Amino acid sequence: MEHRPEMIALDLLGITKVYPGAVALNAVSLSIKGGEVVGLVGENGAGKSTLMKVLGGTIRPDEGEIVIDGTSFSSLTPAEAVSHGIAFVHQELNPLTNLDVAGNILLGRELRKGIFGLIDQAAMEARVRPLLDMLGARFLPSTPVSELSLADCQLLEIAKALSINVRLIILDEPTSSLTLSETQRLLSVIRRLRSEGVAVLFITHRLSEIEEVADRVVGLRDGKNAGELERGAIERDAMVRLMIGRDIQQFYEHANPERGPVVLELKGLRTRTYPEAEVQLAVHAGEILGLAGLVGAGRTELARTVFGIDHPEAGTIEMNGEPVSPGSVPEAVKAGICLVPEDRKSEGLFLDFTISENIVVANLGAVSKGGFVDRRGERRVAESFRSRLSIKSRRLDRPAGELSGGNQQKVVLAKWLGMAPRLVILDEPTRGIDVGAKAEVYRLIGELAMQGVAVLMISSDMEEVIGVSTRIAVMRRGRIAGVLSRKEFSEEAILHLAVE
């Protein structure tokens, strides 16, 4: 490697970032110095990504300061972060596939020759080759990026970070796409970087990897510091306690319906995202089966496949013992399946349509006469759901886009409840809505179960999944890693199944 500059000393002090209706970071502090590997742990939504974007210069904090080598900044720009030797390797990889490896690594810093400034390909490859050798890459500087595997692209991004004489490298879920052997190679690279005096901030849900390489662990919870662990105290259970550590809120209402026969049964179902992973799962009438797991575990993809949006790679979907034609939303709806999607604005509602139009849109036949919509019938149906679901709007002819998030979610629920569904799939049903609206949504979910409807609820909020579910299935890498009965519920039990 090239001559390395002086080791970094960095402190984030009291970093606060507030978005409308949400505090992403609340007076968070973190320090790291050259030659140290710090693991950053926290649940989904704990504030890890926001903090890293502050450090990378893509988000400006509302309060706090960033101190680099004794110099204080209220915020950084991306260019300033790079100038101080801070490099970010994102989980989502976006290399330029029309260039070769050397062109990607030295993009914007190409080596040139001659009076016309032509790119010096030989010099570029010579500059990049030592970096690839250090990483143990199996590809060459001249290899077209279009020929690289996902794991190779991960190494490419790390090589790009090293090429700027990095002093602090931030690795966000760097092993999520790597095999076991590739992961071990990357962990060896992290150890070598530490020995070279580079600071490494390592974000991962794979706690065993943090145990292997971290000198210190910092925990975030609900946008706040949750504590630290020094090297001797770093072990899985201690990290899990840092990540959870919350009391279950009192506004959850446990439904206690009688569990009926199996409504939905998945046999050997394989989704496009995880074509090698088989899902075996049954959801009964009158139960609320919570589907937990980390981001990327395959929960939303499973819901889309069951609802017919995506065609399965293999396996069968049965409703009440009868097969459902795969890859067909109309067939899924006919079988009594409905989906309340995670992104209600783009996938669950017609924002420019009125509230009443959105409520009846999935079941126009019930409010139509002679091929025309009966507006009186439409208003009558919409009015009944406004009362039943406590939709807060005086006028049903308002555009749905003008409602609050919680009321929009109620409209989406009303749309499907009018179809008398047998199975309701809820994907992150309370994301982005306030506590009062959450309580009402939980009440509605409980009512559905008491009426004998099978409910499959996907949620990344462990308080929610524990507070609402009658059973919990945990997904990991496209498979069901385990199913918990209510007496087995705990955030620790869920995390142990969700992480590796």
Decide which of 65 and 415 is more confident: 65
Task: Give the pLDDT confidence score for residue 447 in this predicted structure.
Answer: 85
Mean pLDDT on 262-291: 95
341-367 pLDDT tens trace: 877 766 778 888 888 888 887 777 777
Q: Smallest Cα–Cα separation from 279: which of 459, 489, 488, 476?
A: 476
User: Considering only 336-350, 381-395, 427-441, 457-471, which range has the smallest mean pLDDT?
Assistant: 427-441
Question: CATH code for 9-95+148-243?
Answer: 3.40.50.300
Q: Which two tokens stand for residue 25?
A: 């970071």
pLDDT in tens, 218-248: 999 888 999 999 999 998 888 878 887 643 4
Residues 6+ apart with CB under 8 A from 382: 355, 356, 359, 360, 396, 414
Euclidean distance between CA atoms 232 and 217, whole angstroms: 11
pLDDT of residue 246: 46
**Strand 314-319 to strand 322-323: parallel, antiparallel, or no bridges (unpaired)?**
antiparallel
Name residue 252's amino acid.
Y
Closest to 467 (Cα-Cα) out of 498, 433, 436, 442: 442
Evaluate the CA torsion angle 302, 308, 312, 315 in order and state its sign: positive
Q: Is 249-336+422-500 in the same CATH topology as 9-95+148-243?
A: yes
| 3 state DSSP class of 176 | coil
**pLDDT of the residue at 247:** 39
Task: Give the model confidence (pLDDT) of 61-114 as tens digits.
Answer: 999 999 999 999 999 999 999 899 998 887 666 788 889 999 999 988 888 998
Instruction: For domain 249-336+422-500, say whether CATH 3.40.50.300 is its number.
Output: yes
Locate 59 and state its tokens.
Answer: 């988000």
If you ran DSSP here, which 8-state letter would residue 309 be given? S
Percent of the chain scoring above 70 in pLDDT: 92
Residue that has been written with the tokens 């990540």 in this structure: 243
Domain residue spans of the chain: 9-95+148-243, 249-336+422-500, 350-420
Going by C-beta distance under 8 Å and a sequence separation of 6 or more, which residues neighbour residue 348? 340, 341, 408, 409, 412, 415
pLDDT tens-place string over residues 186-218: 888 899 889 989 999 999 877 888 999 999 999
* Residue among 459, 457, 464, 458 at smallest CA distance from 439: 464
Three-state DSSP state, 335: coil
Instruction: Indicate the DSSP class of residue 144.
Output: B
249 — pLDDT class (breaks 50, 70, 90): very low
pLDDT one-digit tens code per residue, 19-37: 876 788 999 999 999 999 9
pLDDT of the residue at 89: 84
